[in-house]
């Protein structure tokens, strides 16, 4: 006999946990499945100071714990497990795990994105302690300090432009000979560009103390920076297990409408599984709320989404 739920949410980050708050509060029997609750991008963020309604700075894990506790308070169940397969065709959705099979009337995919295959030496160790992947989240902590940005795309340039307003100096390390999607570089008063420069190591024990770089000339140099922001291409949505189940675009993102509904009835997405110009915890949480209310509409066959105000 399988365990039956109204909604199964795959992924317990800001999108999935927020979705669980909304579905559980709507009295939908909710199960959240997450294989590694404390290793997502938000969970590894050292400090957050720009989440609405929370004045004090706190870690990403603390913020996630609050959202998850709120969802659990409304009755959502959380289980740490690995998804082995899904069957999303038909009115009943099946989620296969190492421990067993779960059924649901609707499924919300909130599995986030996967990092690059190779990280810089020292990058993982110092993530949240000077290494960041979000200028909007962490830029304010480096105001007046010397930092480095490693990137190869238009997204990286956007982050540099934001950091240039805060940092004392920005070293923009660009491994390629050009930036993907960028035709002309802006003149930034505090930013120095390094083309065909390859980062070798993030130096430091407890905090970032420098970035070792092999310059285009072949010479190595250690830049005396206190922060390293990494925006290298390679991050991709964690949707491999959906291949053949729901339509994905050429980069693996779910194809969703404004209600986060996929073309497969009863299957929704939220957060970094969809193509979004901004990757922020608050945006992922908003996606989760929309997906949850749309799932509630789907399950009860309502004509309109019912917002939750109180």
Whether 80 and 32 share a structural domain: yes
Of the residues 193, 210, 231, the one at which a domain ends: 231
pLDDT at 44: 64
Q: Does any domain span residue 277?
A: yes
Instruction: Answer whether residue 1 shows pLDDT above 70.
Output: no
Of the residues 231, 251, 269, the one at which a domain ends: 231
Distance of CA 149 to the CA centre of its chain: 19
Whether 107 and 244 share a structural domain: yes
- Of the pLDDT bands very low, low, confident and very high (cuts 50, 70, 90), residue 309 is low
Q: Does any domain span residue 169?
A: yes
- Of the pLDDT bands very low, low, confident and very high (cuts 50, 70, 90), residue 180 is confident
Whether 54 and 190 share a structural domain: no
Q: Does any domain span residue 310?
A: no
User: Average pLDDT, stretch 274-300?
Assistant: 92
Of the residues 207, 231, 255, the one at which a domain ends: 231
Whether 189 and 287 share a structural domain: no
pLDDT at 253: 93
What does R_g of the chain's alpha carbons equal in angstroms? Answer: 21
Whether 210 and 110 share a structural domain: no
Handedness of CA 74, 80, 81, 83 (dihedral sign): positive
Q: Does any domain span residue 9?
A: yes
Distance of CA 218 to the CA centre of its chain: 35
Q: How much is the mean pLDDT over the chain? A: 90
- Count of C-beta atoms within a 10 Å radius of residue 42: 25
What's the pLDDT tens digit per position in 125-145? Answer: 998 899 988 787 788 899 999
Distance CA 135, CA 50 (A): 12
> What are the structure tokens assigned to 288, written together?
């989760």
Whether 201 and 152 share a structural domain: yes
Please, are residues 139 and 45 in contact by the beta-carbon 8 Å criterion?
no
Whether 223 and 247 share a structural domain: no
CATH number at residue 295: 3.50.50.60
Q: Does any domain span residue 275?
A: yes
pLDDT at 22: 98
More confident residue, 159 or 227: 227
What's the pLDDT tens digit per position in 73-129? Answer: 999 999 998 888 899 999 999 999 878 999 999 999 999 887 666 789 999 899 889
Whether 274 and 193 share a structural domain: no
pLDDT at 236: 78
Whether 47 and 20 share a structural domain: yes
What is the model's pTM? 0.70
What's the pLDDT tens digit per position in 10-65? Answer: 999 999 999 999 999 999 999 999 987 776 677 767 678 788 888 888 888 899 99
Whether 168 and 105 share a structural domain: no
The whole domain housing 279 covers 3-115+235-299
User: Average pLDDT, stretch 186-213?
Assistant: 96
Domain total of the chain:
2
Instruction: Answer whether residue 163 shows pLDDT above 90.
Output: yes
Distance CA 285, CA 18 (A): 5
Whether 218 and 292 share a structural domain: no
């Amino acid at each position: 006999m399988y365990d039956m739920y109204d909604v199964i949410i795959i992924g317990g980050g800001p999108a999935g946990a927020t979705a669980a708050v909304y579905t559980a509060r709507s009295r939908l029997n909710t199960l959240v499945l997450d294989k590694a609750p404390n290793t997502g991008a938000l969970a590894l963020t050292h400090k957050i100071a720009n989440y609405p309604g929370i004045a004090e700075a706190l870690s990403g894990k603390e913020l996630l714990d609050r959202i998850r506790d709120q969802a659990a308070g409304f009755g959502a169940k959380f289980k740490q497990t690995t998804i082995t397969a899904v069957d999303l065709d038909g009115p009943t959705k099946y989620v296969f795990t190492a421990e067993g099979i779960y059924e649901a009337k609707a499924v919300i995919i909130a599995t986030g994105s996967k990092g690059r295959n190779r990280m810089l030496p020292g990058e993982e160790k110092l993530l949240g302690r000077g290494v960041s992947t979000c200028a909007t989240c962490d830029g304010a902590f480096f105001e007046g300090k010397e930092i480095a940005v490693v990137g190869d795309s238009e997204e990286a340039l956007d982050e540099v432009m934001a950091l240039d307003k805060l940092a004392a100096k920005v070293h923009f390390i660009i491994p390629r000979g050009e930036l993907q999607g960028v035709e002309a570089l802006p003149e930034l008063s505090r930013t120095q560009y390094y083309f065909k420069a390859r980062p070798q190591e993030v130096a430091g024990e407890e905090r970032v103390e420098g970035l070792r770089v092999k310059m285009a000339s072949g010479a190595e140099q250690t830049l005396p920076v206190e922060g390293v922001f990494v925006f290298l291409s390679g991050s991709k949505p964690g949707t491999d297990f959906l291949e053949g189940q729901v339509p994905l675009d050429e980069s693996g993102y779910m194809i969703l409408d404004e209600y986060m509904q996929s073309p497969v009835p009863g299957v929704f997405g939220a957060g970094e599984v969809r193509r979004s110009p901004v990757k922020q915890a608050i945006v992922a949480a908003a996606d989760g709320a929309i997906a949850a209310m749309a799932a509630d509409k789907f399950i009860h066959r309502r004509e309109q989404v019912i917002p939750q105000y109180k």
